[in-house]
Amino acid sequence: MQVGYTLMCEQSGPRSLVENAVRAEEVGFDFAVISDHFSPWLAEQGHSPFAWSVLAAALEATDSLPFATFVTCPTIRYHPAVVAQMAATTELLAPGRFTLGLGAGENLNEHVVGRGWPPVHIRHDMLAEAVCLIRELWTGQQVTERGEHFPVDRAIIHDVPDSKPPIGIAASGRRSVGLAADLGDALIMVEPKADLVTRFRDGDGADKPVYGQLPISFDADEARAARRAHEQFRWFGGGWAVNSELPTPRAFAAASSSVTESEVAASIPCGSDVDRVVETVEAWRTAGFSHLALLQIGGDVQDEFLDWAAKELLPALAQR
Protein backbone atom coordinates (compact mmCIF):
# COMPACT_ATOMS: atom_id res chain seq x y z
CA MET A 1 0.00 0.00 0.00
CA GLN A 2 1.29 3.45 -0.92
CA VAL A 3 1.32 6.05 1.86
CA GLY A 4 0.58 9.67 0.99
CA TYR A 5 0.52 13.11 2.56
CA THR A 6 -2.47 15.47 2.72
CA LEU A 7 -2.25 19.14 1.85
CA MET A 8 -5.23 20.31 3.87
CA CYS A 9 -6.06 23.77 2.59
CA GLU A 10 -8.44 24.43 5.49
CA GLN A 11 -5.60 24.59 8.00
CA SER A 12 -2.67 26.22 6.16
CA GLY A 13 -1.99 29.17 3.90
CA PRO A 14 -0.84 28.70 0.29
CA ARG A 15 2.89 29.21 0.78
CA SER A 16 3.00 26.82 3.71
CA LEU A 17 1.14 24.19 1.71
CA VAL A 18 3.69 24.33 -1.11
CA GLU A 19 6.57 24.15 1.36
CA ASN A 20 4.95 21.16 3.04
CA ALA A 21 4.57 19.41 -0.32
CA VAL A 22 8.29 19.82 -0.98
CA ARG A 23 9.13 18.39 2.45
CA ALA A 24 6.70 15.51 1.98
CA GLU A 25 8.51 14.48 -1.19
CA GLU A 26 11.89 14.83 0.50
CA VAL A 27 10.98 12.62 3.45
CA GLY A 28 9.62 9.84 1.24
CA PHE A 29 5.83 9.99 0.93
CA ASP A 30 4.58 8.16 -2.14
CA PHE A 31 1.99 10.72 -3.25
CA ALA A 32 0.07 13.79 -2.05
CA VAL A 33 -3.56 14.82 -2.07
CA ILE A 34 -5.07 18.30 -1.76
CA SER A 35 -8.48 19.32 -0.47
CA ASP A 36 -10.56 21.61 -2.70
CA HIS A 37 -12.97 23.61 -0.55
CA PHE A 38 -14.25 27.17 -0.34
CA SER A 39 -14.43 27.21 3.45
CA PRO A 40 -12.80 25.56 6.45
CA TRP A 41 -14.94 23.06 8.37
CA LEU A 42 -14.44 24.97 11.62
CA ALA A 43 -13.39 28.58 12.16
CA GLU A 44 -10.47 27.35 14.28
CA GLN A 45 -8.82 25.87 11.18
CA GLY A 46 -8.57 29.36 9.76
CA HIS A 47 -7.70 28.93 6.07
CA SER A 48 -8.99 27.95 2.64
CA PRO A 49 -6.87 29.17 -0.30
CA PHE A 50 -7.78 28.25 -3.88
CA ALA A 51 -6.64 24.65 -4.22
CA TRP A 52 -5.84 24.69 -7.94
CA SER A 53 -3.37 27.56 -7.58
CA VAL A 54 -1.66 25.73 -4.73
CA LEU A 55 -1.67 22.51 -6.75
CA ALA A 56 0.05 24.14 -9.73
CA ALA A 57 2.71 25.68 -7.49
CA ALA A 58 3.27 22.40 -5.62
CA LEU A 59 3.65 20.42 -8.83
CA GLU A 60 6.24 22.91 -10.05
CA ALA A 61 8.10 22.93 -6.73
CA THR A 62 8.37 19.13 -6.51
CA ASP A 63 10.19 16.73 -8.81
CA SER A 64 8.09 13.61 -9.24
CA LEU A 65 5.53 13.44 -6.41
CA PRO A 66 2.08 12.48 -7.76
CA PHE A 67 -0.88 14.61 -6.68
CA ALA A 68 -4.65 14.16 -6.57
CA THR A 69 -7.51 16.51 -5.77
CA PHE A 70 -9.28 15.09 -2.72
CA VAL A 71 -11.84 16.01 -3.92
CA THR A 72 -13.22 18.52 -6.41
CA CYS A 73 -16.98 18.90 -6.81
CA PRO A 74 -17.67 19.45 -10.55
CA THR A 75 -21.35 20.32 -10.31
CA ILE A 76 -22.19 23.63 -8.60
CA ARG A 77 -19.25 25.82 -7.58
CA TYR A 78 -17.45 24.69 -10.74
CA HIS A 79 -19.10 23.80 -14.04
CA PRO A 80 -17.75 20.46 -15.32
CA ALA A 81 -16.47 22.13 -18.50
CA VAL A 82 -14.24 24.33 -16.33
CA VAL A 83 -13.05 21.31 -14.33
CA ALA A 84 -12.25 19.50 -17.57
CA GLN A 85 -10.10 22.43 -18.71
CA MET A 86 -8.36 22.82 -15.32
CA ALA A 87 -7.53 19.12 -15.17
CA ALA A 88 -6.32 18.93 -18.78
CA THR A 89 -3.99 21.88 -18.19
CA THR A 90 -2.69 20.37 -14.96
CA GLU A 91 -1.90 17.09 -16.68
CA LEU A 92 -0.03 18.93 -19.45
CA LEU A 93 2.06 20.78 -16.87
CA ALA A 94 2.92 17.61 -14.93
CA PRO A 95 2.40 14.55 -17.19
CA GLY A 96 1.57 11.37 -15.32
CA ARG A 97 1.56 13.04 -11.91
CA PHE A 98 -2.08 14.06 -11.54
CA THR A 99 -5.29 12.28 -10.59
CA LEU A 100 -8.58 14.16 -10.76
CA GLY A 101 -10.52 13.25 -7.63
CA LEU A 102 -14.21 14.12 -7.92
CA GLY A 103 -17.15 13.95 -5.55
CA ALA A 104 -20.75 15.04 -5.06
CA GLY A 105 -19.67 17.82 -2.71
CA GLU A 106 -20.89 19.37 0.52
CA ASN A 107 -23.30 22.21 1.16
CA LEU A 108 -20.50 24.00 3.06
CA ASN A 109 -18.54 24.61 -0.12
CA GLU A 110 -21.15 24.68 -2.87
CA HIS A 111 -23.94 26.91 -1.53
CA VAL A 112 -21.71 29.97 -1.81
CA VAL A 113 -22.58 30.54 -5.49
CA GLY A 114 -26.27 30.88 -4.62
CA ARG A 115 -27.65 27.94 -6.60
CA GLY A 116 -29.04 26.07 -3.61
CA TRP A 117 -28.27 22.56 -2.44
CA PRO A 118 -30.15 19.70 -4.11
CA PRO A 119 -31.03 16.36 -2.43
CA VAL A 120 -28.51 13.57 -2.54
CA HIS A 121 -30.03 11.56 -5.41
CA ILE A 122 -29.93 14.66 -7.61
CA ARG A 123 -26.33 15.32 -6.59
CA HIS A 124 -25.37 11.81 -7.66
CA ASP A 125 -27.10 12.26 -11.00
CA MET A 126 -25.28 15.56 -11.46
CA LEU A 127 -21.94 13.96 -10.65
CA ALA A 128 -22.49 11.14 -13.14
CA GLU A 129 -23.41 13.61 -15.88
CA ALA A 130 -20.41 15.78 -15.02
CA VAL A 131 -17.94 12.87 -15.25
CA CYS A 132 -19.28 11.86 -18.67
CA LEU A 133 -19.08 15.45 -19.91
CA ILE A 134 -15.50 15.86 -18.67
CA ARG A 135 -14.43 12.72 -20.53
CA GLU A 136 -16.20 13.90 -23.69
CA LEU A 137 -14.48 17.29 -23.54
CA TRP A 138 -11.12 15.58 -23.13
CA THR A 139 -11.46 14.27 -26.68
CA GLY A 140 -10.63 17.79 -27.88
CA GLN A 141 -13.70 17.79 -30.09
CA GLN A 142 -16.41 20.41 -30.08
CA VAL A 143 -19.15 19.48 -27.63
CA THR A 144 -22.71 20.75 -27.63
CA GLU A 145 -24.99 19.09 -25.12
CA ARG A 146 -28.43 19.76 -23.76
CA GLY A 147 -27.93 17.65 -20.66
CA GLU A 148 -30.38 17.55 -17.80
CA HIS A 149 -28.04 19.52 -15.54
CA PHE A 150 -25.17 20.90 -17.65
CA PRO A 151 -25.92 22.38 -21.06
CA VAL A 152 -22.77 23.01 -23.09
CA ASP A 153 -22.61 25.19 -26.19
CA ARG A 154 -19.86 24.52 -28.75
CA ALA A 155 -17.20 23.92 -26.11
CA ILE A 156 -13.71 22.86 -27.17
CA ILE A 157 -10.70 22.29 -24.92
CA HIS A 158 -7.83 23.19 -27.23
CA ASP A 159 -4.97 21.93 -25.02
CA VAL A 160 -5.69 18.29 -24.22
CA PRO A 161 -3.03 15.81 -23.06
CA ASP A 162 -2.51 12.63 -25.09
CA SER A 163 -2.73 10.62 -21.88
CA LYS A 164 -5.76 11.66 -19.84
CA PRO A 165 -5.52 11.90 -16.05
CA PRO A 166 -7.29 9.15 -14.11
CA ILE A 167 -10.55 10.11 -12.45
CA GLY A 168 -11.12 9.00 -8.86
CA ILE A 169 -14.63 9.22 -7.48
CA ALA A 170 -15.42 9.71 -3.80
CA ALA A 171 -18.03 7.44 -2.26
CA SER A 172 -19.57 6.75 1.12
CA GLY A 173 -22.43 4.35 0.33
CA ARG A 174 -23.59 1.66 -2.05
CA ARG A 175 -24.94 3.96 -4.76
CA SER A 176 -21.88 6.20 -4.93
CA VAL A 177 -19.58 3.16 -4.89
CA GLY A 178 -21.49 1.79 -7.87
CA LEU A 179 -21.05 5.11 -9.64
CA ALA A 180 -17.30 5.01 -8.92
CA ALA A 181 -17.03 1.48 -10.29
CA ASP A 182 -18.97 2.34 -13.45
CA LEU A 183 -17.49 5.75 -14.29
CA GLY A 184 -14.24 6.16 -12.35
CA ASP A 185 -10.67 4.95 -12.59
CA ALA A 186 -10.30 4.82 -8.80
CA LEU A 187 -12.39 4.84 -5.62
CA ILE A 188 -11.89 7.44 -2.87
CA MET A 189 -13.21 6.93 0.68
CA VAL A 190 -12.61 8.39 4.14
CA GLU A 191 -13.67 5.31 6.12
CA PRO A 192 -12.13 1.80 5.91
CA LYS A 193 -15.36 0.04 4.90
CA ALA A 194 -14.26 -3.30 3.52
CA ASP A 195 -17.77 -4.17 2.32
CA LEU A 196 -17.86 -1.12 0.05
CA VAL A 197 -14.38 -1.86 -1.29
CA THR A 198 -15.58 -5.40 -2.08
CA ARG A 199 -18.65 -3.98 -3.82
CA PHE A 200 -16.38 -1.73 -5.88
CA ARG A 201 -14.10 -4.65 -6.78
CA ASP A 202 -17.05 -6.86 -7.70
CA GLY A 203 -18.34 -4.17 -10.05
CA ASP A 204 -16.03 -2.67 -12.65
CA GLY A 205 -13.34 -1.75 -10.11
CA ALA A 206 -11.47 -5.05 -9.94
CA ASP A 207 -8.03 -3.67 -10.84
CA LYS A 208 -8.53 -0.02 -9.95
CA PRO A 209 -6.82 1.86 -7.08
CA VAL A 210 -8.69 2.51 -3.84
CA TYR A 211 -7.69 5.67 -1.96
CA GLY A 212 -8.33 6.40 1.71
CA GLN A 213 -7.48 9.16 4.14
CA LEU A 214 -6.49 8.83 7.79
CA PRO A 215 -6.42 11.86 10.13
CA ILE A 216 -3.82 11.74 12.89
CA SER A 217 -2.62 14.27 15.46
CA PHE A 218 1.09 13.83 16.08
CA ASP A 219 2.65 15.61 19.04
CA ALA A 220 5.28 14.66 21.60
CA ASP A 221 2.67 15.69 24.18
CA GLU A 222 -0.30 13.35 23.79
CA ALA A 223 -2.66 15.61 25.73
CA ARG A 224 -1.79 18.55 23.49
CA ALA A 225 -2.35 16.38 20.43
CA ALA A 226 -5.79 15.41 21.69
CA ARG A 227 -6.70 19.03 22.41
CA ARG A 228 -5.70 20.05 18.90
CA ALA A 229 -7.64 17.20 17.33
CA HIS A 230 -10.72 18.14 19.32
CA GLU A 231 -10.42 21.83 18.51
CA GLN A 232 -9.98 21.38 14.76
CA PHE A 233 -11.37 17.95 13.84
CA ARG A 234 -14.28 17.12 16.14
CA TRP A 235 -16.64 17.53 13.14
CA PHE A 236 -15.16 14.50 11.44
CA GLY A 237 -17.23 11.91 13.27
CA GLY A 238 -20.56 13.25 12.07
CA GLY A 239 -20.57 11.08 8.95
CA TRP A 240 -21.21 12.30 5.44
CA ALA A 241 -24.98 12.06 5.67
CA VAL A 242 -24.74 14.93 8.18
CA ASN A 243 -21.57 16.69 7.05
CA SER A 244 -22.70 17.04 3.44
CA GLU A 245 -25.76 19.05 4.52
CA LEU A 246 -24.34 21.62 6.96
CA PRO A 247 -23.86 25.06 5.35
CA THR A 248 -21.31 26.96 7.47
CA PRO A 249 -18.42 26.51 9.93
CA ARG A 250 -20.77 27.80 12.62
CA ALA A 251 -23.19 24.97 11.81
CA PHE A 252 -20.35 22.44 12.11
CA ALA A 253 -19.38 23.94 15.45
CA ALA A 254 -22.96 23.62 16.70
CA ALA A 255 -23.36 20.07 15.37
CA SER A 256 -20.16 18.93 17.10
CA SER A 257 -20.55 20.91 20.34
CA SER A 258 -21.29 17.80 22.41
CA VAL A 259 -18.31 15.81 21.10
CA THR A 260 -15.73 15.35 23.84
CA GLU A 261 -11.98 15.39 23.65
CA SER A 262 -11.81 11.76 24.77
CA GLU A 263 -14.21 10.72 21.99
CA VAL A 264 -12.01 12.38 19.39
CA ALA A 265 -8.86 10.81 20.85
CA ALA A 266 -10.50 7.39 20.73
CA SER A 267 -11.12 7.64 16.98
CA ILE A 268 -8.03 9.59 15.85
CA PRO A 269 -4.46 8.50 16.73
CA CYS A 270 -3.07 11.25 18.98
CA GLY A 271 0.48 11.63 20.28
CA SER A 272 3.67 9.94 19.11
CA ASP A 273 2.80 6.24 19.42
CA VAL A 274 4.10 4.85 16.12
CA ASP A 275 2.64 1.42 16.79
CA ARG A 276 -0.90 2.79 17.06
CA VAL A 277 -0.61 4.57 13.72
CA VAL A 278 0.92 1.49 12.09
CA GLU A 279 -1.90 -0.72 13.37
CA THR A 280 -4.50 1.77 12.16
CA VAL A 281 -2.88 1.91 8.73
CA GLU A 282 -2.87 -1.89 8.67
CA ALA A 283 -6.65 -1.89 9.16
CA TRP A 284 -7.02 0.18 5.97
CA ARG A 285 -4.70 -2.15 4.07
CA THR A 286 -6.65 -5.18 5.27
CA ALA A 287 -9.87 -3.49 4.11
CA GLY A 288 -8.47 -3.43 0.58
CA PHE A 289 -7.06 0.07 0.17
CA SER A 290 -4.11 0.47 -2.19
CA HIS A 291 -3.36 4.11 -1.25
CA LEU A 292 -3.74 5.87 2.11
CA ALA A 293 -3.14 9.60 2.60
CA LEU A 294 -2.21 10.64 6.14
CA LEU A 295 -3.68 13.95 7.32
CA GLN A 296 -1.76 15.63 10.12
CA ILE A 297 -4.14 17.85 12.09
CA GLY A 298 -2.85 21.37 12.75
CA GLY A 299 -1.30 23.68 10.19
CA ASP A 300 1.39 24.91 12.60
CA VAL A 301 2.86 21.47 13.37
CA GLN A 302 3.50 20.12 9.88
CA ASP A 303 7.30 20.46 10.17
CA GLU A 304 7.31 18.45 13.40
CA PHE A 305 5.05 15.81 11.85
CA LEU A 306 7.19 15.51 8.72
CA ASP A 307 10.37 15.15 10.84
CA TRP A 308 8.69 12.38 12.85
CA ALA A 309 7.39 10.71 9.72
CA ALA A 310 10.88 10.66 8.20
CA LYS A 311 12.62 9.32 11.29
CA GLU A 312 10.04 6.96 12.76
CA LEU A 313 6.69 6.54 11.05
CA LEU A 314 7.61 5.86 7.42
CA PRO A 315 10.42 3.43 8.35
CA ALA A 316 8.01 1.58 10.65
CA LEU A 317 5.37 1.38 7.93
CA ALA A 318 7.95 0.17 5.40
CA GLN A 319 9.10 -2.53 7.81
CA ARG A 320 5.51 -3.66 8.40
Q: Which residues are catalytic?
A: 37, 106
Residue 166, CA distances (Å) to 34, 123, 187, 312, 313 in order: 16, 21, 11, 32, 29
E strand spans, the chain: 2-7, 31-34, 67-69, 98-102, 143-146, 151-155, 167-170, 186-188, 210-218, 270-271, 291-296
- Exposure b/e, 182-213, CB count within 10 A at least 16 = b: ebbbbbbbbebbeebbebbbebebeebbbbbb
Dihedrals phi, psi of 12, to nearest 5 degrees: -145, 150
C-alpha 164/C-alpha 262 separation (Å) is 45
C-alpha 58/C-alpha 264 separation (Å) is 31
> For the chain, what is the total number of helices (H) and then of strands (E)?
14, 11
The answer to whether 291 and 243 are in contact (CB under 8 A) is no
The secondary structure of 200-251 as a DSSP string is HHHTT-TTS-EEEEEEEEE-SSHHHHHHHHHHHHGGGGG-HHHHTT--SHHH
Q: What is the DSSP code (8-state) at residue 185?
A: S
The answer to whether 249 and 43 are in contact (CB under 8 A) is yes
